Amino acid sequence: MTTGIVERIRTNRRELARLLTRIENGSASAEMAELYPHTGKAHIIGITGAPGTGKSSLVNALAQHYRQNNLTVGIVAVDPTSPFSGGAILGDRIRMRDRSGDSGVFIRSMATRGSLGGLARATSDVARALDAAGFDRVLIETVGAGQSEVDIARAAHTTLVVEAPGLGDDVQAIKAGILEIADILVVNKADRPGLEITLRALRAMLDLGHRAERIAQVKEMHHGQMMTVPAVSKAVPDENTAWQPPIAQTVSTEPRGIEELAGHIAAHRDYLQRTGLLVERERARIQNEILERVRDEVLSRLLSRIDEAQWRDLIARVQSRTLDPAGAAAVLLE
Amino acid sequence: MTTGIVERIRTNRRELARLLTRIENGSASAEMAELYPHTGKAHIIGITGAPGTGKSSLVNALAQHYRQNNLTVGIVAVDPTSPFSGGAILGDRIRMRDRSGDSGVFIRSMATRGSLGGLARATSDVARALDAAGFDRVLIETVGAGQSEVDIARAAHTTLVVEAPGLGDDVQAIKAGILEIADILVVNKADRPGLEITLRALRAMLDLGHRAERIAQVKEMHHGQMMTVPAVSKAVPDENTAWQPPIAQTVSTEPRGIEELAGHIAAHRDYLQRTGLLVERERARIQNEILERVRDEVLSRLLSRIDEAQWRDLIARVQSRTLDPAGAAAVLLE
């Protein structure tokens, strides 16, 4: 009898690394199905923020803190802005050096050009594999700003958005978009000048964000395709019990403020459990994932049935402007 | 007889604004089909870069330059990181003030949370509407870094990536990912200290980028779903004739270097026409758009047929981990 995948990745780091490579290559569906019953135990924490905020060193410090408390840590460092692995690999090696010899930490860096959808899916599956492999905390680190983090953060239970003082006068543009995914705000490099300005800006943004969120939700009702799905009941905690993102201050290089930050993370986890949001959010995540998989599969089946001559003809007609792209899609759908 | 949409948006700016609103709301498919035969004339120029590089003021200066040469200009300011319209609207007003009273310039700002796919599609359609409305140049301005720009840049013929000296020591992380979409690099704020360092870094990145591109292409062959599509012939210019992204230096606030930049933009357009790439890229764009539309439509048809009880049951089974998400997708696909 062969040993199951869960047993193998729990006892052998090389097997785990190989599985993660298969996940990245999209050839691990059998293994993912096998390990799925063993997931759901890890606390998955997303860490995002603009370049220059010291995210990597913060992740480093947080991992060390967890290790000192006898918790095992899996780290996924994702760089969606990197066409291939240059930056991510470098960061990986620097961090590796700090923690070499500790089998309670496992680090994987991921970077890809090509489809971001593929990267988000792979990241989520890698986090799931680390969960099944028995890591207590899984940290997903991504470079900040844009839809990429929002997608990748969806895989996390708790999302940290990292800022730093003095990064320029219109970092606000980034914050506005990214604040809505923040469960905890971290001002790293808190020993730098400009701390008070950053804190004030973040507090103002948090006030604004609460109003913005409501407007954005209404907007999404109109635009979001997911709304056509049979609705799953949504437990929204009321104003009084709603989570207010705390602002943590850290100096990850010393390190300073890491224990307090870990406290906020634990409190957020408690909050999710207490309010039932942990279950609700997982349900929403599962719903999205199933739909994405169905969509991808339907598309690839459809593509395999398209006649090449017809396809060329349609493109030629759209290019000569005798047909518009929506019209061409309608022809294919017939 | 009612006047056609093309006539109306060419003669009446309010009609144009109303059409763009319908595009954003996803309710302009009839109009888009009607105006499609009148598209394909404008040069669509994407301008992207990190916050702090002075993109907006560069777009401003470029628009003024085109106006002085009697060319009409449509501007689409997109902020994918903004949950709603705060920043974009503000920028809009500041720019509006500069060009008020000039009917040869039309500015539209777009911002959304929700699905980025929707934003990219809407941006592309807005650019198309401005094209049909007769604008000679359409400038699409987006906030930098991440997949968002890559998606939005796909709608452009020529993409400018804007940098600025002294933005911090790991802006390189952004550049690596964004360089591959750059047809022209612009170092704005070129009167600031650190210009030489930025120029040197960009030149080094350009060298590296050429190698990276080849590796990334090979990667995409394995990961990209689009590869399953019947192949459309690809005219790839050889090494000698390939476009080498120039590095332009500007001070948009003076303005300085704008005419040279416009020269690079015109040269890139000539290059695309001469090599046949203009036609090839449009073909690829059309291909992607048709497939995206087919996929979205297939999904929404499928969703409308899902039985609610079955859907709830599937989610419950995945949540209790007796079924994995891929398995649930397979059940739906049966």
The tens digit of pLDDT for each residue in B93-121 reads 445 444 556 778 998 888 654 455 577 88
- Across B230-252, average pLDDT: 68
Q: Does A85 touch chain B (CB under 8 A)?
A: no
The average confidence (pLDDT) of chain B is 79
Q: Does B36 touch chain A (CB under 8 A)?
A: yes
Q: Residue A229: its chain B contacts at CB < 8 A?
A: 303, 306, 311
Q: Does B174 touch chain A (CB under 8 A)?
A: yes
**Nearest CA to CA, how far is B108 from chain A (Å)?**
18
What is the reported pLDDT for B200? Answer: 85
- Across B196-204, average pLDDT: 84
Cβ of A312 and B230 within 8 Å? yes
Contacts of B274 (CB under 8 A, 6+ apart): none
Closest-CA residue of B relative to A164 is B168
- Across B182-197, average pLDDT: 92
| Inter-chain Cβ pairs, chain A and chain B, closer than 8 A | 281
What is the reported pLDDT for A284? Answer: 86
Band (A148; pLDDT cuts 50, 70, 90) = low
The tens digit of pLDDT for each residue in A257-298 reads 999 999 999 999 999 999 999 998 889 889 888 988 888 888
Helix axis angle for B116-132 and B277-305, nearest 10°, is 130
Q: Residue B155: its chain A contacts at CB < 8 A?
A: none
Cβ of B180 and A113 within 8 Å? yes
Rounded to whole angstroms, how far apart are CA atoms A198 and A201?
A: 5
Selecting from A118, A174, A315 the residue whose C-beta is nearest the C-beta of B286 gives A315
Alpha-helical (H) ranges within A142-194 are 147-153, 172-178
Strands (E) located in A205-261: 247-249
- Across A131-140, average pLDDT: 96
Q: Does A218 touch chain B (CB under 8 A)?
A: no
Q: Is the model's pLDDT at B213 over the cut of 80?
A: no
* Residue A138, φ and ψ in degrees, nearest 5: -120, 120
- Across B295-304, average pLDDT: 81
CB burial class (10 A; 0-12, 13-18, 19+) of residue B282? middle
Q: Between residues B241 and A63, which one has the greater pLDDT?
A: A63
- Across A70-87, average pLDDT: 70
Cβ of B83 and A177 within 8 Å? yes
Q: Is the model's pLDDT at B292 over the cut of 60?
A: yes
Q: Does B207 touch chain A (CB under 8 A)?
A: no
| Chain A (37-56) residues lying within 8 Å, Cβ to Cβ, of chain B | 37, 39-40, 51-52
- Across A137-152, average pLDDT: 73
Residue A188: closest CA among A51, A90, A307, A41:
A51
- Bridging pattern class, strands A158-163 and A137-143: unpaired
What is the reported pLDDT for A53? Answer: 85
What is the reported pLDDT for A117? Answer: 59
